[in-house]
Amino acid sequence: MTRHFDAIIIGAGQAGPSLAGRLTETGKSVALVERKFFGGTCVNTGCMPTKAMVASAYAIHTARRGAEYGMTTGPVSVDFARVMARKEKVTLDSRTGIEAWLKGMKNCTVLEGHARFESPTEISVDDERISGEQIFLNVGGRAAVPDFAGIDAVPYLTNSSIMELGHLPRHLVIVGGSYIGLEFAQVFRRFGSEVTVIEKGPRLIAREDPDVSDAVRTILETEGIQIRLNAECIRFAGHADGIAAGVDCTSGAPEVIGSDVLLATGRRPNTDDLDLDKAGVKTDTRGYVKVDDMLRTNVPHIFAMGDCNGRGAFTHTSYNDFEIVAANLIDNDPRRVSDRIQTYALYIDPPLGRAGMTETEARNSGRRLLIGTRPMTRVGRAVEKGETQGFMKVIVDADTKEILGASILGTGGDEAIQSILDVMYAKRPYTTISRAMHIHPTVSELIPTVFGDLFPAT
């Protein structure tokens, strides 16, 4: 027998549960299908556990610097099992909270199993069949595992399996020098592992400006992380001391011998096992569901939210997708994906907060630009905290005075960037910030100064 619902939501990630909440409030019957853990990637193998580990790593790092702050301690040792138990509690509290919320939600039926399309309106969940007037995909993504030579012959970790790690790696070799790779690199280095990052490109976090990449590299190398760029021929083989990772860089040893390998080479959408063809839903060549500005697929009653639509790869973009869908379908409020401004943070310490365009993107846009920069050594709060690595950079359109983008690599950068972001959303000129009085002493206090001291880009 096929049970019928007003709406079916596939995936309990960052958009699905909130949409279930809104739809059921309007009296609609909703079936929400989840095949694994409630809360999806962010809660279980992404943001939450990693940021809990970042917090442990920061506390350990600060304790090691204790003498600088007038603290006398013995040698700092790391209890990796406690670190992992702490992050597990953060995850479990959130996971069970979401699960209890959904299972207690009036008009919501939670089905635990793998969903697949049987037709444009019918879904099978293991042995059960359900049908829906509207179907919302929130299936997220998983770690991409490139076809490296020898990879199947060696054990390797991904962002998911590393969450189960029962030992502290002696030497963690991380392939991929972007968000996932760099956050784990610093975390494990601070826990006491030797860490080598192997990146095929010529610089780390290649989406950022070269000056940001260089500063991040310096921060990580200062802590003893080995960085191997231009790794053109990555391959793996067993070794008496663990795993041999071939690098073939233009300089340096051709092989790195590690005890453990983490692959952090990007993500792929969970769309290959949904039988989307039975619904006629189109994907792009990389498997992302094609959507329009309101997140509708090519099939009018099917929508896709979050990482699986390729329009964002962050928790806040997935949640914003929920807001856009709910606004259009429930509130008659014409919100669009194209209204949002790109923003995110990289949670190394100090963090990188980003909003809008990079300098490279702004230059490529052909506009006349004004740029302002300040090293964190000139930020009083950073000096007082003893955390002066990094710099701020803001980019303004010289003709319209519009703020185009900003990068704050420095203590508090993930928070301070948001004052710039809000002025960008308000579509106010940069002078709104340069004339504002900010609180002393804060990192944000320097933002008006940076905007007050712009120079033309050459």
Ligand X SMILES: NC(=O)c1ccc[n+]([C@@H]2O[C@H](COP(=O)([O-])OP(=O)(O)OC[C@H]3O[C@@H](n4cnc5c(N)ncnc54)[C@H](O)[C@@H]3O)[C@@H](O)[C@H]2O)c1
Ligand Y SMILES: Cc1cc2nc3c(=O)[nH]c(=O)nc-3n(C[C@H](O)[C@H](O)[C@H](O)COP(=O)(O)OP(=O)(O)OC[C@H]3O[C@@H](n4cnc5c(N)ncnc54)[C@H](O)[C@@H]3O)c2cc1C
Q: Which residue's CB is nearer to ligand Y, number 158 or number 213?
A: 158
- In the list 181, 306, 353, 405, the residue contacting ligand X (rule: CB under 6 A) is 181
- In the list 24, 50, 91, 388, the residue contacting ligand Y (rule: CB under 6 A) is 50
Query: Interface with ligand X includes 314 (CB under 6 A)?
Result: yes
Residue 263 Cβ vs ligand Y, minimum distance, rounded to whole Å: 11
- In the list 8, 345, 382, 433, the residue contacting ligand X (rule: CB under 6 A) is 345
- In the list 5, 236, 319, 344, the residue contacting ligand X (rule: CB under 6 A) is 344
Give the DSSP letter string of 118-177: SSSSEEEETTEEEEEEEEEE---EEE-----BTGGGS--B-TTGGGG--S--SEEEEE--
Query: Interface with ligand Y includes 355 (CB under 6 A)?
Result: no
Residue located via tokens 């409020």: 333
Site for ligand Y in 20-39 (CB under 6 A): 33-37
Residue 401 Cβ vs ligand X, minimum distance, rounded to whole Å: 30
179 labeled binding residue: yes
Length of the chain: 458
Q: Which residue's CB is nearer to ligand X, number 115 or number 185?
A: 185
Q: Using an 8 Å Cβ cutoff, are 319 and 15 in contact?
A: yes
Distance CA 395, CA 386 (A): 27
Active site amino acids: 440
Tell me phi and psi for residue 176, to 5 degrees. 115, 115
Each residue of 14-28: b (16+ CB within 10 Å) or e?
bbbbbbbbbbbeeeb
**β partners of residue 198:** 175, 228
210 binds, among ligand X, ligand Y, none (CB under 5 to 8 A by kind): none
Q: Which residue's CB is nearer to ligand X, number 345 or number 379?
A: 345
Q: Closest by alpha carbon to 172, among 259, 83, 254?
A: 259
Q: Which residue lies nearest ligand Y, judged by its C-beta?
A: 140
- In the list 17, 40, 372, 413, the residue contacting ligand Y (rule: CB under 6 A) is 40
Q: Residues binding ligand Y: what is the number (CB under 6 A)? A: 38
425 labeled binding residue: no
439 labeled binding residue: no
120: cis peptide before it, omega within 30°?
no
Distance CA 90, CA 101 (A): 17
Residue located via tokens 């964002």: 312
178 labeled binding residue: yes
Residue 347 Cβ vs ligand X, minimum distance, rounded to whole Å: 5
441: cis peptide before it, omega within 30°?
yes
CA dihedral (112, 113, 114, 118) positive or negative:
negative
10 binds, among ligand Y, ligand X, none (CB under 5 to 8 A by kind): ligand Y
Distance CA 20, CA 5 (A): 12
Q: Closest by alpha carbon to 229, among 270, 197, 257, 254?
A: 197
Query: Interface with ligand X includes 193 (CB under 6 A)?
Result: no
Q: Which residue's CB is nearer to ligand Y, number 42 or number 454?
A: 42
Query: Interface with ligand Y includes 132 (CB under 6 A)?
Result: no
Site for ligand Y in 279-308 (CB under 6 A): 306-307
Query: Interface with ligand Y includes 385 (CB under 6 A)?
Result: no
- In the list 91, 159, 226, 297, the residue contacting ligand Y (rule: CB under 6 A) is 159
Query: Interface with ligand X includes 12 (CB under 6 A)?
Result: no
Binding stretches for ligand X (CB under 6 A):
146, 175-181, 183, 199-201, 206, 234, 264-267, 313-314, 344-347
